[in-house]
Structure 1
Amino acid sequence: MRARTWHLGDARQSLVLASFADRLPEVVYWGPSLPDSEDLNTLAAASVTDVTGGMIDANAPVSLNPEASLTFPGQTGLTARDASGRPLAPSFRFESETASEHGLTLVFTDSSLGLRLGFELTLTPDSSLLKLQTRLDSADEIQVDWLAAPVLPAPAHLGEMIEFSGRWCAEFLTRRLPFAPGARLRDNRTGRTDHAHFPGLIVCGAETGNTCGEAYAFHYGWSGGHRMVAEELADGRRQIQFGHASAAMAPGHSFRTAPLYATYSPAGLNGAAVLFQRHVRDHLVKGARSPRPVHYNCWEAVYFDHRLDDLKSIATRAADLGAERFVLDDGWFGRRDDDTSSLGDWVIDRRKYPDGLTPLIEHVRALGLEFGIWFEPEMINEDSDLHRAHPDWVLGPADQTRGRQQLVLDMSRDDVRNYLYDHIANVLANNDVGYIKWDHNRVLPVVDSDQTEGVYALLDRLREAFPDVEIESCSSGGGRIDFGILERTQRVWLSDSNDALERQRIQHDAALFLPASVTGSHVGPRQCHTSGRILDIGIRAWTAAQRHMGFEMDPRELTPAEADTLRQVTVWWKANRDWMMRADILRLDSADPAVIAEQQLSQDGGRFAVFAAQIRTSDQILPQPLRLTGLDPEATYRITLTNRGDVSRLSRGAPLLKDRDLDVSGRYLMSRGLNLPWRFPQTIWVLEGRRL
């Protein structure tokens, strides 16, 4: 059978496509890198499957967009209707191909329906991620209910998937599910990435762990609602589809998915995670401060009660503890005394700031701190001057259910975006502001991809006009974290929970996709405002030091001993941030499920830090050896227990690291592992390693 073939490959992986009889291409190989001598036509021929009783006479391919016209037995890659509502079942044929340095564009057409389907396929240099997009163009106006990004197969020998769910203050929850006949479908219609629907998936085996086994990882880089399909057909073949949420696209002539990022790892979950981390850190995020400044946010110190003298006092104390940026959170604008009013009125509240923000900013800048400020541009309160003037700017019906006392602005409108740009730009142009915390505190009342495109357009315009202003994506914590928003921002607020124990789990699972440099993590109040739990300053400070470190409490509540501990950890973080913010985060497979552990390995492999948090009491009495990963087995490393002074009086034995450093081989560290002193639950050990 005649076939066209294409190969995207590097030293890590190969993706081979074949188009039979000029039909849509299908993946005939995806896995470890193939040799240059491999014959692609042979691979195409070898991919053809058998037909037997009870089947139609040809197997419809799991192509990059499975077609209804070929009697595909599963979820098709396109669901569309013409102007009269008649379903469309196109039959696409090859039109053209265009090669680029790192990829290619393939175009297929159905001339009878006036449809053109294009696939943009790239293998990103250095980070080795497949970046895949689908575009559909129509001569006539049509309605697209579903358009999949290029569809990829899942191999038969890996029987599990890891999917992501969660909630407010518990983002990035992971669940392992077995593949089974039928479709696992998740249709996120909230209009944002959402706490409960992070757009990621990992296909793996039962034996796959952080450091071993195969994994195929996926992420849909889109900040609106998305849809995921993980399907096992009745014949045993499997497919993975991602795209915008169902019916999110308005009728038109041109439709485009967001990029689907995917990669293969032969070395466990970490092998995929570091590629996603590196891509975000080194290629996606632009304009981030280096070194990353220690962050202070005043929200959990004052909430809406803004008093200039208090804020100055707090800033002074934060600077003394090591902060390098001060962020003024919600409550500075309109008549904003609680969350019921003033969203949309982006003018300084002269009751609280009679001389504007200048006195506070001058005080902050005199302390050597950068000044940042909070906005929630996409939202509006009914009790606002903006709503009284423009109720027609609200997205959705008038009788919709409110969320957090607020409505949503229609970001697809030019006049809305112009209004927001003018008011935000006025604050930025007339005040020494280096940072924006950009919040988004409710789901949308309707599913609309134009809303997300409008947000992107506003962010792009602000970034162009104020390239030196960093932006953080916050959405009630981690409700909008994805590669689409990270193309336009420099930091994400991972969760509204500053509870260090909950943060340990959230950070651990978010590291499957996110590097430390963009992941904000703050030392919260002694008694956490979202969990009520009281935690020692040690685990609170060291948990924040695992990512982009900050504080978010009233620093005046700290005892002298707590302040001293926080100051010491901050000094340590500053001394190590240059290499840590460019390190790979490697999740460690702990033999004790009560321990969450990770290893941050420098780019040259010459140094690392290990964080091992005792989340709860262990089932066994002795600490289990902690095995490391990613080291040179023949090299010798010197291991230091950084917080040796935290050893408890109930640790009565003599583990070597209690008293001195340990010089051992990488092979020993990865095979046998480290004996750590016994410790109480809700505490953490921090270790440093250097290659000798």
Structure 2
Amino acid sequence: MIKAWHLGDARQSLVLASQDDRLPAAVYWGAALPAGEDIEAIARLGEFDVTGGMLDRNPEISLCPEASRNFPGQIGLVGRTASGAPLCPEFRFQEADKTDSTLNLVFGDDSCGLKLTILLSLDDQTSLYKLKTVLESRDPITVDWLAAPVLQTPASASRLLEFSGRWCSEFQIRESEFLPGARVRDNRTGRTDHAHFPAFLATAKGTSNTAGEVYAFHYGWSGGHKMVAEELADGRRQVQFGHATAGYAIETRFETAPLYASYSAEGLNGSAVSFQRHLRKSVTFSRPERPVHYNCWEAVYFDHKLDELKDIATRAADLGAERFVLDDGWFGRRDDDTTSLGDWWIDERKYPDGLAPLIDHVKGLGLEFGLWFEPEMINEDSDLYRQHPDWVLGSLTQIRGRQQLVLDMANSLVRDHLFERISELLSTNVISYIKWDHNRVLPQVAAEQTVGTYELIDRLREGFPHVEIESCSAGGGRIDFGILERTQRVWLSDSNDALERQRIQHDAALFLPASITGSHVGPRKCHTSGRVLSMSFRAWTAAQRHLGFEMDPRELDTDEAATLKAVTDWWKANREWLMQADILRLDSDDPSVIAELHREETGGRFVAFAALLQTSAQILPRPLRLSGLEPAARYRVDLANRSEISNLSRGSPALKSGPIEATGQYFMSHGISLPWKFPGTLWVLEGQRI
């Protein structure tokens, strides 16, 4: 007997089938099936053969593969009873609840006292699946592993794209092939982490940004996670995501974070647009128009002097800033990173009259005011530590990170204290923005730490709904859809090096839209790489995302200030549509070029950025092929930064002298011939459908 369910839209279909009331398997996931397709027949047609050396029936790769079904690979539930006996349930169908966009399935094993609920939904606006597993037990149990609903990837999707990285070089894509056995990434840092962005893409051979099949996954969780990409001996493949854990506390209810998944037949850009649109749709801003951001960190660090900060704010406003963020160093006795975390009261040595004089000055310039916090951390040299060493997470003999320890966010007393201190500052000062930092890994795997942090942020969001929160974790150490259910911006990397940023931003765009991705114009000499880059390159790189400044504006000469103001004015003139645009990564025929096209959702206009990161192997620029245009429509394309053409560009490409016009098909097939340029520069091409 077969029970089958279909959850799909015009772009993709997911068919689940349960044989004899067992847990269902995803028997089809791919391009949208025609209306009227017999999904029970699909379940039968997908059955594999059996031969020598095998069991007499192939155990299903169900949504939670079971040891009791003799599954030969990684199982979806590993747990123990209170006495330590292993759990080995045989789940059976109990009920199903289906709508056009949701499917909730309940399975149980009465003999074990277990109930497994699979929650699935498909967003009709973004074509993104959201999947979650919930386990309930009649008796207290320990769970060592619970996978979010497990999906199969087909034999054609043999290439793996994973994400690793480090501080100041996040979102590095690692490419490999599916091989027999399990590829396991076990992130035990306790946070999303620079090295372990919780995502995975399986692609067909030859898939590019603009063409080919992609199966994309993202685990929306801000703690440690584990990913399993396994090819069984019989050739079938499964993908699992769940919490990294050393064993949950004995409880009766467990649930995974949401697993987001999407199929694309249009290359990496197809899945990227689904993820980008999900965040643009789901993230709630205090206002939709994104203000130009200024952060004082790389201007003053811990050396806060009121008159200097007022001067910096005035200069930032003259350049076009609309928000001023006071970073680390305003509280306790915080003169360096060895002291005062946890003492969230204003340093009277630096601010004898509180923050009001600075805030009044900033507001008088027409700017919003934001403030830096690192609530989850504590220094030993702090009043809070001296009062409550018992609030520290883990052993006091642990290795310190950035001279600091971690507060136990599972402790309600800790959360209450932090809420009280932050609330008092937000209530007594006009603060519209929080930069929420998290500068070290945790001393142990602790899902409760993440749950506690979520609870505190949710409580602050409820109490102060118009205060925006930026998720920063030494840059990109905590970026995921879990934290982005609660925050409005992420600080993508502590690197303001525009060359590094081009690559980081480009690869992060597989999941993140421009509107929530902070990108800042850094100092002339980058503080993390030592490179000296032109203002034009720094400014246009930042203008590809949510624009901000993080240099000391007092260092700018007249030409640099004029260039920065001009780019900022351009960004402001375009941000209404640009912050709602889809980012399409372009397949560059020159490996020295990183290029992307930001397309208005309606397709009426676009801007393309083409950055030359190093000297090309060939002399002439290769034509830049665009993407995402209507083939039969005509477009007018112009250079937004034509004034930057070098005198070494001595030829006459058509775009050099003025706008060009052609069909979308021409621009996507042949591409645009660009003027010659130096490495460390970029072209900005504005397009309009005519």
TM-score of the two chains, using structure 2 as the length reference: 0.99
- What's the counterpart of residue 272 of structure 1? 271
For 2:252, the equivalent position in structure 1 comes to 253
C-alpha contact 1:250 1:448 (8 A) present in aligned 2: no
Partners of 1:158 and 1:325 lie apart in 2 by 45
2:235 matched residue in structure 1: 236
Residues 248 and 447, structure 1, Cα contact 8 Å, conserved in 2: no
Pairing partner for 1:526 from 524, 527, 539: 524
Deviation at residue 250 of structure 1 after TM alignment: 2.1
Give the structure 2 partner of residue 501 of structure 1. 499
Residue deviations 1:647-667 (CA, integer Å, cap 9, x gap): 111111111111111011111
Given that residues 432 and 467 in structure 2 are in contact (C-alpha distance below 8 angstroms), is that contact kept between their aligned partners in structure 1? Answer: yes
> CA offset at residue 288 of structure 1?
4.2
Map of 1:553-632 to 2, 5 A cutoff? 553-632=551-630
Unaligned stretches of 5+ residues in structure 1: none
Q: 1:99, CA displacement in angstroms?
A: 2.3
Q: Is the 8 A contact 1:248 1:449 kept in 2?
A: no
Tell me if structure 1 keeps the 8 A contact 2:264–2:270.
yes
Structure 2 CA distance for aligned equivalents of residues 342 and 289 of structure 1:
33
Contact 1:599 / 1:611 at 8 angstroms: preserved in 2? yes
What amino acid sits opposite 2:652 in the alignment? Answer: A
Residue range with higher mean Cα deviation, 649-658 or 358-367: 649-658
Q: Is the 8 A contact 2:128 2:261 kept in 1?
A: yes
Q: Which residue of 2 aligns with 1:290?
A: 288
Deviation digits for residues 98-118 of structure 1 (CA, Å, limit 9, x no counterpart): 224521110111111111111
- Aligned counterparts of 1:687 and 1:289: Cα–Cα separation in 2: 28
> Secondary structure of 1:550's match?
strand
Give the AA of the match of 2:622. Q
2: CA distance between counterparts of 1:248 and 1:204?
Answer: 33
Deviations 1:112-169 (A, max 9, x none): 1111111001011201111000001111111111000000001111210100000000
Separation of aligned partners in 1, 2:93 and 2:194 = 40
In the alignment, the residues of structure 1 paired with residue 211 and residue 32 of structure 2 have an alpha-carbon distance, to the nearest angstrom, of 18
SS in 1 for 2:482: helix
Provide Cα deviations, 1:526-558, integer angstroms capped at 9, x if missing partner.
Answer: 000000000000110000000000000100100
Give per-residue Cα distances to partners, 1:652-691, cap 9 Å, x unaligned: 1111111111011111100100000111100010010001
Structure 2 segments unaligned to the other structure (5+ residues): none
**What is the SS of the residue equivalent to 1:630?**
coil
Write the distance in 2 (CA, Å) between the matches of 1:548 and 1:573.
Answer: 9
Compute the displacement of 1:446 (Å). 0.9
Provide closer, same or farther for how the CA distance between residues 411 and 201 of structure 1 changes in structure 2, counting only shifts above 3 A.
same
- 1:96 aligned to 2:95? yes
Q: Which shifted more, 452-461 or 93-102?
A: 93-102
Aligned match of 1:161: 160
Change (3 A) 1:328 1:353: same
Aligned to 2:512: 514
The whole-number CA distance in structure 1 between the counterparts of 2:520 and 2:658 is 31
Cα shift readout 1:254-303 (whole Å, capped 9, x = no counterpart): 100000000000000000000000001112x1134221000000000000
**Could you tell me which amino acid in structure 2 is paired with residue 439 of structure 1?**
D
CA contact (8 A) 2:245 2:447 kept: no
Deviations 1:630-649 (A, max 9, x none): 11111111110111111111
CA displacement at 1:479 relative to structure 2 = 0.2
1:138-537 matched pairs, under 5 angstroms: 138-247=137-246, 249-283=248-282, 285-537=283-535
Task: Tell me, yes or no, if the aligned pair for 2:242 and 2:257 is still in contact at 8 Å.
Answer: yes
Could you report, residue by residue, the CA deviation over 1:169-210 in whole angstroms, capped at 9, with x for unpaired residues? 000000111111011000000000000000000100220000
Which residue identity lines up with residue 252 of structure 2 in the other structure?
A: H
Per-residue CA shift, 1:435-490, capped at 9, x if unaligned? Answer: 00000000000101110000000000000000000000000000000000000000
Secondary structure of 1:483's counterpart equals: coil
Amino acid at match of 2:245: S
- Amino-acid identity (%): 68
Equivalent residue number for residue 35 of structure 2: 36
Question: Residues of 2 paired with 1:288 and 1:579: CA distance?
Answer: 18
Residue type matched to 2:124 in 1?
P
Instruction: Report the equivalent of 1:72.
Output: 71
> Which residue number corresponds to residue 659 of structure 1?
657
Q: Deviations over 1:511-537 (max 9, x none)?
A: 000000000000000000000000000
Detail structure 1 runs of 4+ shifted over 3 Å in the superposition: none
**Aligned twin of 1:642:** 640
> Whole-Å Cα distance in 1 between the matches of residues 285 and 533 of structure 2?
35
Letter of the aligned partner of 1:133 in structure 2?
A: K
Report the CA distance between 1:386 and its aligned residue: 0.3
Give the residue type in structure 1 aligned to 2:150: V
Task: Output the amino acid matched with 1:561.
Answer: D
Given that 2:156 and 2:205 are in contact with CA atoms closer than 8 Å, whether structure 1 keeps it comes out as: no
Does the residue aligned with 2:141 lie in a helix, a strand or coil?
strand
Mapped partners of 2:553, 2:622: distance in 1: 37
Distance 1:59 1:301 in 2: 63
Contact 1:395 1:410 in 2 (8 A): yes
Between the aligned partners of 1:607 and 1:247, the Cα distance in structure 2 is 51
Deviates more, 1:286-295 or 1:567-576: 286-295
Does structure 2 retain, via aligned residues, the 8 Å contact 1:425–1:462? yes
Partners of 1:295 and 1:326 within 8 A in 2: yes
Question: Could you tell me the TM-score, scaled by structure 1's length?
Answer: 0.99
* 1:326 partner letter: F
**8 Å contact 1:248–1:448 — kept in the other structure?**
no
How many residues of Structure 1 are paired with residues of Structure 2 in the alignment? 690
Contact 1:294–1:549, Cα closer than 8 Å, also in 2: yes
Inter-partner Cα distance in structure 2 for 1:288 and 1:281: 13
SS of corresponding position for 1:625? coil
Match of 2:119 in 1: 120
- Post-superposition shift, 1:249? 2.5
2:657 matches 1:669? no
* d(CA) in 1 for partners of 2:237, 2:201: 14
1:325-360 CA-partner distances (Å, limit 9, x unpaired): 000000000000000000000000000000000000
The verdict on how the C-alpha distance between 1:451 and 1:506 changes in structure 2, with shifts beyond 3 A counting, is same
The letter for the 2-side match of 1:211 is T
Q: Deviations over 1:67-103 (max 9, x none)?
A: 0011111000011011122211111101111224521
Deviation at 1:45, TM superposition (A): 1.2
Counterpart Cα distance in 2 of 1:248 and 1:577? 47
Partner Cα separation in structure 1 for residue 234 and residue 161 of structure 2: 23
Matched AA of 1:160: R
Contact 2:475 2:491 in 1 (8 A): yes
Distance 1:99 1:602 in 2: 34
Between the aligned partners of 1:245 and 1:125, the Cα distance in structure 2 is: 31
Question: How far apart, CA to CA, are the structure 2 residues paired with 1:289 and 1:620?
Answer: 47
Query: 3-state DSSP class of the match of 1:213?
Result: coil
Letter of the 1:382 counterpart = E
Partner deviation per Cα, 1:495-516 (whole Å, 9 max, x = no partner): 0000000000000000000000
Contact 1:144 1:247 in 2 (8 A): no
For the 8 Å contact 1:149–1:258, the answer to whether it is kept is yes
**CA, structure 1 residues 426+248, in 2 after alignment: closer, same or farther (shift >3 Å)?**
farther
Kindly provide the amino acid, as one letter, of the partner of residue 454 in structure 1: G
Q: Which amino acid aligns with 2:261?
A: A
